[in-house]
Structure 1
């Protein structure tokens, strides 16, 4: 810990000697300046705010004791003084005792004695700094508790108006900046805001519920604007970087009005719902006259979105949600109604996973849209969330459908192999398995790689080849046995697949 020291002496050689003969840095001091008389030293003390002033007694214009007395009467900044005196002047210097000056250095300066005396002064300064720090923390915490009570229960402090008025008088006006961090950067945001407040006077950090907090700050309306926004510019940049929302109420002349200002700052937060970035602090005065629409028929939007989900249509789902977002923005629908709409969609979507209860539970826990919707969440973020849920549910349903269709195709293929010799059509097959003929045809082609009719011809010709090898049936009987009523059709399909006629095949085999 370092302390600042100001050296005062009208003799240049004495000043130089004090700087050279004493190892100030080693003793815990940094020389912040020098002066040649008391009047000049007063101005230096005001400007440099040293922790210690080491001053000669006898000087022109204003001597050391006059300077000490004048400064102590001003009481602007607590400063510790030490006297430098010769033996012949010591009786004169003793008068300093009435000013509480108990430390002195004798001329000529003795390095060891000076080090001992300055070491004792250093320890006194350290102890005093510690007491000041403790008192400052206690005073700050006391003020924070008072302000928090004023924000939430002002009527409980009606008997404490004297303390409130004293605090209120420190600045011409007061305001509240309400800050809602993102959950992912809550601790970082608070740390940044705390550091911001610590560097400024008349600014107090108040922790609130749900991870939010507020800055109660005093300001000068003439210099800082009617709401004191000039004092918030650096904080505005921090919030933008960390993705936190910040709002301010309307500035008030007294802390007794801070409860209303706090309410205004909270009310302004709802107007961030339709914004898509973190630019700027929302000012209550700018949005106070705006009202949201509280009614809108959402039936058509719900039907379109859920219809796309049922059809496993991802592009339709995206278009439906995009249309809903556009409608809500155009109509300035109240954020609470939009949140309820999204939550309703969320549960309707989860109902489609009734065959996958574990997956439904996992999605409900992971997305937690009811919880996120109740927090600070923009329209864009809510739409992105429900869109992600919908796409994931469609993927799950497609997987189930794929697994199910694989089992169905397997059963259908078994049936086809057992009945290909009969007059089997896709329509008849669809009736047997209770499927739409078009869907069934597409499903078989996708799973088997060939069209239904091609599959039937392939099976029949495979069977015909076996019968021809056995040689017990003529060509016409073989054609009829494998399911062809027309020999010409049998011949055409046989030659197409084996590049030869049935007779040529007989002769070769």
Structure 2
């Protein structure tokens, strides 16, 4: 029931209003009455009525002066005024003080009940809103308002309402991936899980931060603590789910929380470059593919060229070395990261490199076509890989199956692999340094091993393979300049001098000699 006080200098009106209205049915109770304005103000302090029904004209202190005094004291009590026809100007002024309405004397019962019902609805709404305001806002919502709201005033109110008083503050951000590459769903489930682990006394508040889950903590989170949190999340997840985590800088004041949040956000947006740890801590070196380049005083790093890296990957596959392929792909990721390639561009380049490398394989390995196509079918999956490390793992799994399907990894000696490799690729721009990278040897040491094994230096052996092939092509009547290009010599004069030194005759003379022998 809402409380009502009737204020009128006429006793008949005071008593009449009490009896003609069924107050309880409407939701009101008449708790007191006053004969003049001063009495009304005195009783108001004690009664605190929700509604005052007040005569506009009373001796000593009229109704208008009472309403003015109430509003001056910041009272928001509702008021219905009673007036005669001659008091319209008073009534108009009273409306300026925010009264709910006025009724003409003599009071009409139906009209007054309608006014009372309207006031009752207003009081009910105010009571509901007031109850909501009194209900404390959950801490995680205050953190969300403070960090996510675009309104500066709302951020400030949220900060004041938090008033945590922790010695330091730090924002952690978590990103969830399922096997299909989707972002986090089922927010309430994960947040409830985190809330069940901690409460505010333990200085942790879990909240939603856009596509991520955030944690405001008063503890200091370094790599060890963040790793423990991530492992705990993984323990409560399925095998197909993955969590990535980033910890922003620690700050001393709550108003600096945006700095910690921005720091964590910047780190997590670099999630693709996280190493196998799957996390990053402010001012640490979490990246698995080379140091994060500084924005200043760094030389320009060009994006890697697909053809160059495709050649290296092809050579690694051609010698049946999964280890060499892993080195090539890891180095490619390092160069992409240092060149600041975007995630999408890195995936596109990697897919192109894999495609170019494997497209050459059927030409050198008979029957490898179906296995190559099976490996290339993995390319669409590369675009959903959450990190560079997971993308490399995906490519290596495909390459491992490919190598197993083409008679497995060779167990021949490194030197036998190397000489066979040269005989297959003599026309390429082969360098000892390149093969040292492919076979994972120091180039000087590999050169000595090669000479011990073959009795010749690398360059002399390569020239011998090339020139023997040149002899075969010249014997078929091919032109000298074309033969030079086909066996790996870009300069015809250089080929001429090499061939003459090797055979004792010029290329053209050798071709004529072979033609004469064939005629006889």
Give the number of the structure whose residues are more often helix, by fraction. Answer: 1
TM-score, normalised to structure 1's length? 0.37
TM-score, normalised to structure 2's length? 0.37
